[in-house]
Amino acid sequence: MKKYLLVFVAFASSTLSFKSNNGGLKIGEIAPHFVMKDINGVEVKLSNYKGKVVLIDFWASWCKQCRAESPKLVKTYQKFHDAKFAVGNGFEIVSISLDDNLEEWRTAVSQDGYIWSNLSEGKKWDAEIAKLYQVSSLPTNYLLDETGKIMAKDLHGAMLDNILMANRK
């Protein structure tokens, strides 16, 4: 059964990649490592999430589509945070804001109920992390497996839940 789920996910991921607006990193690549400070000044490393399924979510407080997706992300996080998957145990989100106004970013994080790691360099499109992940539009996201390999990208609406559900043990 798991073999078929993984085949489905591989097919779905390649289909999602084809429809993506973001050239960016490719499915199957290892996501570039980063170290950044979160909203509270605490250092966050991508390597801290090894063994878990991770969504790296690029957004901004001024991005209307990003903000419209916020309630869905909160529900998905609550639903899958402690789940066990064929490709990792637990689900985490790391949100990376491309805001240049850090006060507006902090306000949006609070308003939208983001309870996971929230990072920002405060440099909008000039942020090193945006260049590293080749982000050219918002919202952009990458779903990583337990090893840090990109298994899907640009998952919006029900697509993220569908991929997570298909990989649930």
Q: pLDDT tens track of the chain, all 169 residues?
A: 444 344 344 444 333 333 344 468 999 999 999 999 999 999 999 999 999 999 999 999 999 999 999 999 999 999 999 999 999 999 999 999 999 999 999 999 999 999 999 999 999 999 999 999 999 999 999 999 999 999 999 999 899 999 999 999 9
Residue 143 CA, chain-centre distance (Å), reads 6
Topology at the third CATH level for domain 2-167: Glutaredoxin (3.40.30)
What pLDDT was estimated at residue 21?
A: 44
Domain ranges within the chain, ordered by starting residue: 2-167
65 in Cβ contact with 138 (< 8 Å):
yes
| Torsion angle defined by CA atoms of residues 78, 79, 80 and 84, in that order, rounded to the nearest 10 degrees | 130
Phi, psi of 118 (to 5 degrees): -125, 120
End-to-end CA distance of the chain: 10
